[in-house]
Chain A
């Protein structure tokens, strides 16, 4: 199978520059990096991709069982690293991809040598002695929100959204075209994201790690950022003065500065 087209892998930046692998989170695709990727590509080999089931990936490769847990997404990352024979990779994971990066780094320690986590949370649901910020009912409510907004999704739009525009006129009808995802697939990704518990996996991290959090983030509150920072020995915690869960969109300059400073210190 051609991994590059399966995961819609795009590569920019100088060929022999240090490698950055940018992994999007739940809810969107590699478009999430559009405000930071061009600047990063000036000094780094920037690899972007869509998880199978997201963006312009090959939907026929999607499998409900494989992508029901974060391991399936980590497998995508590992397969991309192997297909491009990437070495000395700094893995930049947004949101849930931070934990995917942890799993991928454990699977290919010879390829992934540092982790940058943007808005990480190892576990979203509260449990005794741990505050993730959400209850199981909250997650049900999210799934309901997803369902409500699927009404705007239609199968005829899928080819356009997924990048097979044999009917280009449909593209103009799309309003929220970025990040549109097949409802059934998004549901599986949502469950894998919000119902997984990667706290034990965090303890396996033994590569230099940057934890990048926003000062106001409902999804990954500051106490969760502090938890991640505490569990990973030697990790660095940087708090951006930003609201929301996507600093690479809402505060791209600050995000870039924190990223490049951390990576610069590694080499």
Chain B
């Protein structure tokens, strides 16, 4: 607190008196002088904005004489056009509602051109009835601070632009990945006469290409080939192997549809391609379907893949063992195990990848396992392939966090209401 007049309190002791005297000598400012040469600008305006009083400090900053300003200019005349709009849409309403406004950042125009960034605070002075009479405003030079703030703002804008860019890039990448992923799978399963087929692909992460694959395609007039498998690893390298695998198996099947021969061709290709360095291999089941009277004959071979599951019309669900079949691609020549079965009306063959059986469940995070899968499948006998896939998809979803791998499902079944049995009643 600085005193501008004689101290009202009597001095208490000699030392205090001399200190007080020294202060008084130093601070002999009059209130007027304090007003005029304060380290900030002072301004009083009428309610219509006309400038009624202004201190020397602010006049110096503006580069104007008192005569030019007082009674002749309005407060908003000192502001830039953008500042005027801001004043009339924000500053003035706020002041009117609150009786005070503080710390508003605006630019004032200097007479010789150029701007001074300032921070403004205003209060209204009211008469005895509470009616505003006058607006008092302090003006602080905020050049340094505003330069710093502008820098902060600029950085934030740069950061926001970078974030937007990153989000766009990410979206584009995900789109590209989705397209690539789809190229590894058939867009839709083709209709197979006398059979119904359904499939599902669970993607663990949209950012990461999965390595699971399946396909179903015609070999000739009466035979169809199918396969389903899992390439080791994830990401673009795995996807490249998946692509190679899918097209190799398709081509091999057309050349020689024997399941063991098709897997052997794939083994040769993968081993030759990836013999050196990072081992790349896959597990796969390859099979051929052939209509034989009322049933469909299935001939399949497995290379290191979990056994297929057969759901029978009689309510049983059993694995179709293919022991001894080796991972495809790790050895120059590999054994593959073939087996056959027949699907009668109401029977369904289910192929899956180990994402399903290796899902971790419960608090102990135990593996779901092949026993639980068989039990689950036993409840799905008497249902059509698309219903089996629906139920299995529900199961996968129920695993939540416990399922962190891609999972492919392919169900091939012989419908009970096949058109040639006459039970396909029109609806």
Direct contact of A and B (CB under 8 A): yes
Q: Which residues does A use to contact B, with CB under 8 Å?
A: 25-28, 31-32, 34, 95, 134-135, 138-149, 151-152, 175-179, 194, 216-219, 242-246, 249-250
Q: Are A143 and B82 in contact (CB under 8 A)?
A: yes
Of A143, A148, A179, the contact of B93 (CB 8 Å cutoff): A179
Flag the segment in B103-111, B185-193, B325-333 that touches A: B103-111
Interface size on B, residues (CB 8 A): 34
Name the residue on A nearest B92 (C-beta). A244
Cα distance A152–B152 in the bound complex, in angstroms: 13
Q: Are A219 and B102 in contact (CB under 8 A)?
A: no
For the complex of A and B, the 8 pairs showing the least CB-CB separation, nearest first, are: A141-B82, A27-B89, A142-B82, A243-B48, A148-B105, A138-B81, A245-B88, A145-B86
Of A139, A149, A194, A216, the contact of B90 (CB 8 Å cutoff): A149
**Any A CB within 8 A of the CB of B76:** yes
Q: Are A176 and B94 in contact (CB under 8 A)?
A: yes
Q: Are A219 and B85 in contact (CB under 8 A)?
A: yes
Residues of A within 8 A of B86 (CB): 142, 145-146, 149
Of B76, B103, B107, the contact of A152 (CB 8 Å cutoff): B103
1/0 per residue B80-120: CB within 8 Å of A? 11111110111011101110111111110000000000000
Residues of B within 8 A of A95 (CB): 89
Residues of B within 8 A of A25 (CB): 89
Cα distance A246–B82 in the bound complex, in angstroms: 17
Q: Are A151 and B85 in contact (CB under 8 A)?
A: no
Q: Which of A26, A31, A135, A142 has the most CB of B within 10 A?
A: A142
Residues of A within 8 A of B146 (CB): 148
Cα distance A218–B82 in the bound complex, in angstroms: 11
Residues of B within 8 A of A140 (CB): 82
Residues of B within 8 A of A250 (CB): 47, 92, 96
**Any A CB within 8 A of the CB of B49:** yes
**Any A CB within 8 A of the CB of B153:** yes
Residues of A within 8 A of B90 (CB): 27-28, 149, 179
Q: Are A219 and B89 in contact (CB under 8 A)?
A: yes
Of A141, A243, A245, the contact of B83 (CB 8 Å cutoff): A141
Residues of B within 8 A of A217 (CB): 88
Of B74, B80, B97, the contact of A178 (CB 8 Å cutoff): B97
Smallest CB separation, A96 vs chain B (Å): 10
Q: Are B105 and A151 in contact (CB under 8 A)?
A: yes
Residues of B within 8 A of A147 (CB): 153
Cα distance A141–B84 in the bound complex, in angstroms: 10
Cα distance A142–B89 in the bound complex, in angstroms: 11
Q: Are A249 and B97 in contact (CB under 8 A)?
A: yes
Cα distance A8–B216 in the bound complex, in angstroms: 59
**Any A CB within 8 A of the CB of B149:** yes
Q: Which of A179, A194, A219, A244 has the most CB of B within 10 A?
A: A244
Residues of A within 8 A of B47 (CB): 243, 250
Cα distance A178–B146 in the bound complex, in angstroms: 24
Cα distance A216–B46 in the bound complex, in angstroms: 14
Q: Which residues does B use to contact A, with CB under 8 Å?
A: 47-49, 74, 76, 80-86, 88-90, 92-94, 96-98, 100-107, 146, 149-150, 152-153
Q: Are B81 and A134 in contact (CB under 8 A)?
A: yes
Of A27, A151, A176, the contact of B102 (CB 8 Å cutoff): A176
Q: Are B88 and A148 in contact (CB under 8 A)?
A: no
Can you spell out 12 A-B residue pairs with CB atoms less than 8 angstroms apart?
A25-B89, A28-B90, A28-B93, A138-B81, A140-B82, A143-B82, A148-B106, A148-B153, A149-B90, A149-B104, A175-B103, A246-B96
> Would A26 and B153 be within 8 Å (CB), given that A148-B146, A176-B98, A243-B49 are in contact?
no
Q: Are A144 and B82 in contact (CB under 8 A)?
A: yes
Q: Which of B85, B97, B105, B149 has the most CB of A within 10 A?
A: B85
Q: Which of A28, A141, A145, A176 has the most CB of B within 10 A?
A: A145
Q: Are B103 and A34 in contact (CB under 8 A)?
A: no
Cα distance A5–B89 in the bound complex, in angstroms: 25
> Would A178 and B98 be within 8 Å (CB), given that A216-B48, A246-B93 are in contact?
yes
Name the residue on A nearest B153 (C-beta). A147
Cα distance A178–B102 in the bound complex, in angstroms: 12
Of B81, B92, B100, B101, the contact of A245 (CB 8 Å cutoff): B92
Smallest CB separation, A194 vs chain B (Å): 8
Cα distance A145–B107 in the bound complex, in angstroms: 8
Residues of A within 8 A of B93 (CB): 27-28, 31-32, 178-179, 246, 249
Cα distance A151–B74 in the bound complex, in angstroms: 27
Name the residue on A nearest B74 (C-beta). A243
Q: Which of A139, A148, A219, A249 has the most CB of B within 10 A?
A: A148
Cα distance A242–B106 in the bound complex, in angstroms: 24
> Would A26 and B88 be within 8 Å (CB), given that A141-B81, A148-B105, A218-B76 are in contact?
no
Residues of A within 8 A of B102 (CB): 175-176
Cα distance A207–B314 in the bound complex, in angstroms: 79
Name the residue on B nearest A181 (C-beta). B90
Residues of B within 8 A of A219 (CB): 84-85, 88-89
